[in-house]
């Protein structure tokens, strides 16, 4: 997807976000100094394995981190000049679901099984838009039609269990877009769906973005989703951003070894004969991060200095990356033995 540019102030700017959790295993820093910007009308993809901090970042912005055991240690999240992280619960409740909406990964748990779709859609619009009960019902039907649910005037009175997985996800999208938010946070919105339904949902989100000008924060572990919908990408590993790039630059010229590992371990239509190389080992225990670069134990390009320095982001081409080596020139070794040594 082609990149977009925006010379205006970002719609949402996140600066040095750090989130910690007190656990039985000790203090876990789930998000470590994350910075990014989201412009009006664009899609920013956030990609990484489970435990990389993607979802925790979005929950922090929405004020949904349970405190305790969680705690936002530092950072700012500036939405139209206002810091979301400093807002009271009441102030944030006027923005959440209204100006910033979220689609969760599993619609069956996100939707209330004891309430009809009408009850759940009209609750949002009556609260934030001040619609009457009749107006809210008409609006709910209109939104269901907009997201492609047939016989919306009848189905609006049904319960979530009466919908298929793909249709429930469409209901979630309808709910999220009911108030025409500036920002839509989509947390793994297509993970539980088959490939055909996934493609339909992504196409629907793109169409609605064009119609409404909504900015989308797309959180996923699936690079295929990123290629389909994102303009810019942020790759996260062990709680921090390790690479930022336009979507074209990321796929054509990855700069961080972890990004390269994600690309090499996923099949690509344009490289059907390429050998798939899985990334050895597992993401690190966030309560016991390795010294230096967190990716070092799994990295096929690591050098001795990687165990001493946790590299900052440095600018490169249309983005930035956090690595001490140039993977285009550095020798490659088998990281499997290193993983075995570190885990023994």
Q: Clarify whether residues 121 and 201 are in a common domain.
A: yes
Q: Clarify whether residues 221 and 147 are in a common domain.
A: yes
Choose the final residue of a domain: 210, 230, 250: 230
Q: Tokens 């490289």, residue?
A: 271
Question: pLDDT value at position 271?
Answer: 59
Q: Clarify whether residues 56 and 130 are in a common domain.
A: yes
Question: pLDDT value at position 4?
Answer: 46
For residue 312, give every residue at least 6 positions away whose Cβ sits within 8 Å of its Cβ, in sequence order, or none: 322
Question: pLDDT value at position 273?
Answer: 60
Choose the final residue of a domain: 207, 230, 253: 230
Question: pLDDT value at position 147?
Answer: 82
Question: pLDDT value at position 162?
Answer: 92
* CA separation, residue 90 to residues 54, 56, 57, 96, 161 (Å): 25, 21, 21, 10, 32
Question: pLDDT value at position 176?
Answer: 86
Q: Clarify whether residues 183 and 271 are in a common domain.
A: no
Q: Clarify whether residues 222 and 329 are in a common domain.
A: no
Is 5 a member of any domain? no
What would the pLDDT profile of 109-152 be if each residue is shown by its tens digit? 778 899 999 999 998 889 888 889 999 999 999 989 888 889 99
Q: Supply the CATH number for residue 191's domain.
A: 3.40.50.300
Q: How many domains does the chain divide into? A: 2
Q: Clarify whether residues 70 and 212 are in a common domain.
A: yes
Which residues in the chain come in under a pLDDT of 50?
2-7, 344
Q: Clarify whether residues 29 and 173 are in a common domain.
A: yes
Question: pLDDT value at position 341?
Answer: 56
Q: Clarify whether residues 258 and 135 are in a common domain.
A: no
Question: pLDDT value at position 122?
Answer: 93
Residues 141/152, Cβ–Cβ less than 8 Å? yes
Range of the domain at 77: 12-230
Question: pLDDT value at position 329?
Answer: 83
Q: Clarify whether residues 106 and 210 are in a common domain.
A: yes
Question: pLDDT value at position 276?
Answer: 74
Q: How far is it, in rounded angstroms, from Cα 74 to Cα 19?
A: 7
Question: pLDDT value at position 344?
Answer: 47
Which residues share a beta bridge with 37?
13
Is 2 a member of any domain? no
């Amino acid at each position: 997807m082609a990149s977009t540019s925006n010379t205006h102030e970002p719609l949402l700017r996140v600066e040095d976000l750090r989130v910690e959790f007190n656990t039985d295993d000790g203090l876990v820093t789930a998000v470590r100094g994350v910075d990014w910007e989201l412009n009006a009308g664009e899609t920013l993809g956030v990609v990484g394995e489970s435990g990389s901090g993607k979802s925790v970042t979005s929950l922090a912005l929405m004020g949904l981190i349970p405190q305790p055991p969680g705690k936002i240690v530092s950072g700012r999240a500036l939405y139209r000049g206002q810091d979301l992280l400093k807002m009271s619960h009441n102030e944030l409740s006027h923005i959440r679901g209204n100006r910033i909406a979220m689609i969760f990964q599993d619609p069956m748990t996100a939707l209330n099984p004891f309430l009809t779709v009408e009850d759940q859609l009209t609750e949002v619009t009556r609260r934030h838009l001040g619609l009457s009960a009749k107006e809210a019902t008409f609006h709910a039907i209109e939104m269901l039609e907009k997201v492609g649910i047939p016989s919306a005037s009848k189905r609006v009175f049904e319960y979530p269990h009466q919908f298929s997985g793909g249709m429930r996800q469409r209901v979630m999208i309808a709910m999220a877009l009911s108030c025409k938010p500036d920002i839509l946070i989509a947390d793994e919105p297509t993970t539980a769906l088959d490939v055909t339904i996934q493609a339909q949902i992504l196409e629907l989100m793109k169409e609605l973005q064009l119609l409404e000008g909504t900015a989308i924060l797309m959180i996923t572990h699936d690079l295929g989703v990123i290629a389909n919908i994102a303009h810019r990408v942020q790759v996260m590993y062990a709680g921090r951003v390790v690479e930022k790039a336009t979507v074209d630059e990321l796929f054509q010229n990855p700069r961080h070894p972890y990004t390269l590992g994600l690309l090499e371990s996923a099949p690509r239509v344009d490289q059907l004969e390429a050998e798939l190389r899985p990334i050895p080992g597992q993401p690190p225990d966030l309560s016991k991060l390795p010294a230096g670069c967190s990716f070092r134990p799994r990295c096929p390009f690591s050098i001795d200095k990687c165990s001493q320095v946790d590299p900052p982001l440095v600018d490169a081409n249309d983005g930035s990356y956090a690595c001490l080596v140039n993977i285009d020139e550095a020798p490659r070794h088998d990281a499997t033995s290193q993983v075995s040594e570190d885990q023994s």
